[in-house]
Structure 1
Amino acid sequence: MRILVHEFVSGGGLVGQVVQPSLLREGRAMLTALVSDLAAIPGHRIVTTTDPRFPLIVPDAVEVVAFRASAATFRALIRSADAVWLVAPETGGCLARLSARVERSGVRLLGSTSSAIRRASDKAALPSRLARIGIAHPTTRIGAVGGPRGLLRGIARDLGYPIVVKPARGAGCDGVWLARNARELGHAVDQIRQDHGLGVAVFQRYVPGTPASVALLADGKRALALSVNGQRISRTGPFSYRGGITPLAHPLSKQAAQAAVRACESIAGLRGYVGVDLVLTRTEAVVIEVNPRLTTAYLGVRAALAGSGHNVAAMALAACRGILPRKPPVIDRSVRFTAGGRILP
């Protein structure tokens, strides 16, 4: 099977534009790891795209195509493949839009459906979805980023400081701020309006605890947790993801995995590799977001399983065909990793 892998940020989706260094670092690390894992599976030919500004180091068997964000070129690349694996941010509906193009082409999409991506990435609607199935989620308010300051004061009274402010549709830590007072809240809203051009933002009560994520496999209906991972998050200025540890040793790791599975299964059409972000408090696992795509935690999961013969990409391909493992692989090695994919001693 000829598989096209397109990572939007490092793969040419932003040619001619300034690329945020953190997104480039994470995107390129995920792409390099993913195509290496796919190339190791017998019977597949792997082709990937690259922004000419950002050369890739990949196995010789991987075909690399310079891509310059042309819709016609992208359609031709899709038609040349038997299947397409997309890695792109949810920001501005990017991942859902690209996935819909693949669906319209009739070529097999190795990942979540575009409708599932839209539901999972709608941060404004996620709180009510999780509430219906009894999953803990931060107290949330939705507000206009260009509205009167009186609206912000009302939100602050409801939530209490500190407040997490984020775009209604975004990816990871991109555009996420922690406001500790009214001045910082106004600054966060101004930055989101300037950087994302959105009409609304999501305001959430800050949940103190251990930042974590769960890596899952999904077949469109069911989900299986592969690992619970720790996250290192910088909250100086906008949030910044610095890497993590796989697996995370925490008293609530089991509850985190269970909550992530239920959150994933509440959104029909999630397939392949899926990530769920949480905060683990002293008493509960609080789900923050559902990421309908490859996440940076993939780097830690694949490294932790490297000695066991398990190929996470192969398991994700099987999940897209409706085949989930009967139980998750045993992880007997702890791995610390950076956002750029470097494995730490």
Structure 2
Amino acid sequence: MKPRIFIQEFASGGGLLDDSLDPKLLVEGFGMLRVLLSNFQRLGYNPITTLDKRLSFLTSFLPTKGIIQVATAQEFIEKGLEAVKQCDYFLIIAPGSAGILSSLVQNYQQTQALSLNSSPQAISFTSNKLKMYKLCSQYQVSYPQTYAIYPNGSYEEIAVPKQGLVERNWPELLQQKRLNYPLILKPNDGVACEGLTLCSTLEQLKKNIREFFEQNPARILLLQEFIPGDNLSVSAIIHEKKCEILSINKQLVSLKSDRSEYLGGISNISHPLATKINHVCKMIVSKLPGVNGFIGLDFIATKKPRDKNKIYLLELNPRVTTPFCGLLAPQNQPITPFFAGGNKRKKPLPREQSTRNPCYFSKIMVRRSSKWTTKKYPQLLTNPGIITPPLDFEKNTGSIAFIRGLGKTAEQAKQAFDKNCRELVK
């Protein structure tokens, strides 16, 4: 009998049933769900998942018969728990913010199924960027100059760990001459580019800070120096504090003063600082008990002359991240994770080492004026370049799709991506 694994992705699996559907979020979330289901099916598992009932038209794109449709937020929790009880393993993809991922993992740990996620405690710690930066300062890991701005108006300089909370108003901080524009603002517990803005003037900075606290009166906001360089991420597997680097990835990010956006990236690239990046990743993970399974780490490799060959840690994501949509492409061999679980399983399952090709992946807009229609869904099922087909939930807008292309080099991967985009609308 095949081992059963429950794989749940928050956005497409029913976690947003109390909210309207956002195609920009869904194409990534659904894409990660789809590639994980396929990956574990190829490894000989029987995958089971939940799906938001509003997305029932996408069931044919999921490579499993074990699809549980949920219609309410309560069903998302209850049916998910019942499904986990029938499985041997579970793997959850959800935001670390607001305790969403840690709560789901803790809930499913009530069962006998073995968790392939990090522990709830590790998820809570790594989802808090302030705690991560303070950990970095203890082990000489570089991170951007950072100030934490609190809802009560005070601020803390994280670059000086022993300084502690400064009982002054944050407007005084903005007048300091050592702050050089542009500057980055982002939530302490944010994911992807949620709430991230690039501020080029004092007026923009004040406006964005005030608007953030008006909408998020209980959250902490981070003010950081902007570091020009390569936006990179690392995809890795962790087991008992041992870190296996799967891929270094380039990130495609649009930074704006009002709303920034993660567009996609290129997985499995070559980088001149690969050795240093790998060393830092493994050292950080060794200091984080409870971090297990698939994770992603974000870095900046600087281009500043005075900081040449320096890397800065931005955050650690204790879960499957979007670049796995490239790593788990059907042209590559499937990946078996290291299994967490303490005494239940002390050794990782065996995994064949293989060469993985670079993959260019990105969200694209498919305009209504194009030749695309939902009638083309069936012919997209066999195209490995279509991660998520075009989704559209609002009138008078275009559709959003998630596309990839593989090649022996990053340039060839981009060419394959462009070809798949043309195929979609022809």
Q: Normalising by structure 1, report the TM-score.
A: 0.89
Alignment of structure 1 residues 1-345 onto 2, 5 Å: 1-42=3-44, 44-55=45-56, 56=58, 57-59=60-62, 61-67=64-70, 68-70=72-74, 71-145=77-151, 147=153, 150-155=169-174, 157=176, 159-236=179-256, 237-281=258-302, 282-303=308-329, 306-307=330-331, 310-312=333-335, 315-318=336-339, 321=345, 322-323=347-348, 329-331=354-356, 333-339=357-363, 341-344=402-405, 345=416
Contact kept? 2:338, 2:349, Cα under 8 Å:
no
Check conservation: 2:130, 2:188, Cα contact below 8 A.
yes
What amino acid does structure 1 have at the position aligned with 2:327? V
1:179 maps to a residue whose letter is C
Aligned partners of 1:107 and 1:29: how far apart in 2? Answer: 24
**Paired residues of 2:195 and 2:260 also in contact (CA < 8 A):** yes
1:63 maps to amino acid: G
The offset of 1:317, in angstroms, is 4.9
Root-mean-square deviation (CA, aligned residues, Å) is: 2.4
Contact 1:213 1:229 in 2 (8 A): yes
Q: How far does residue 335 in structure 1 lie from its aligned partner after superposition?
A: 1.9
Structure with the greater relative contact order (CA < 8 A, sep ≥ 6): 1 or 2? 1
Confirm or deny: 8 A CA contact 1:174 1:239 kept in the other structure: yes
Answer with 1 or 2: which has the greater Rg.
Answer: 2
- In structure 2, give the amino acid aligned to 1:180: S
Matched residue type, 1:278 = F
Q: 1:249 to 1:317 in 2, by over 3 A?
A: closer
Residue 251 of structure 1: how far off its partner (Å): 1.7
The gaps in structure 1 that reach 5 residues or longer are none
Q: Secondary structure at the match of 2:8?
A: strand
Separation of aligned partners in 2, 1:284 and 1:188: 29
C-alpha deviation, 1:186, in angstroms: 2.3
Q: Which amino acid aligns with 1:54?
A: L
CA distance in 2 between partners of 1:214 and 1:259 (Å)? 11
Structure 2 Cα separation of the partners of residues 60 and 34 of structure 1: 10
Distance 1:323 1:109, change over 3 A: same
Q: Secondary structure at the match of 2:98?
A: helix
C-alpha displacement of 1:101: 0.9
Which amino acid in structure 2 is aligned with residue 49 of structure 1? T
Q: For 1:150-201, what per-residue CA distance to the aligned partner results, in whole angstroms no more than 9, with x for missing partners?
A: 4144156254322211112121111111122222212322343345443321
Structure 2: where are the runs of 5+ without partners? 155-167, 303-307, 364-400, 406-415, 417-426
Equivalent AA in structure 2 for residue 52 of structure 1:
K
- Kindly provide the amino acid, as one letter, of the partner of residue 330 in structure 1: T
TM-score by length of 2: 0.73
Structure-1 residue corresponding to 2:378:
none
Kept after mapping to 2: 8 A contact 1:139/1:204: yes
CA distance 1:203–1:156, shift in 2 (3 Å): farther
Whole-Å separation in 1 of the counterparts to 2:334 and 2:340: 13
Percent of residue pairs identical: 26
Distance in 2, Cα, partners of 1:266 & 1:199? 26
Q: Distance in 2 between matches of 1:137 and 1:317?
A: 28
- The amino acid that maps onto 2:64 is A
Deviations 1:85-110 (A, max 9, x none): 10001121111111111223343211
Offset from partner CA, 1:273-303 (integer Å, 9 cap, x none): 1100001113211110000000001012223
Indicate if the aligned counterparts of 2:326 and 2:360 stay in contact, CA closer than 8 A. Answer: yes
Paired AA for residue 46 in structure 2: R
- The number of residue pairs the alignment matches comes to 338
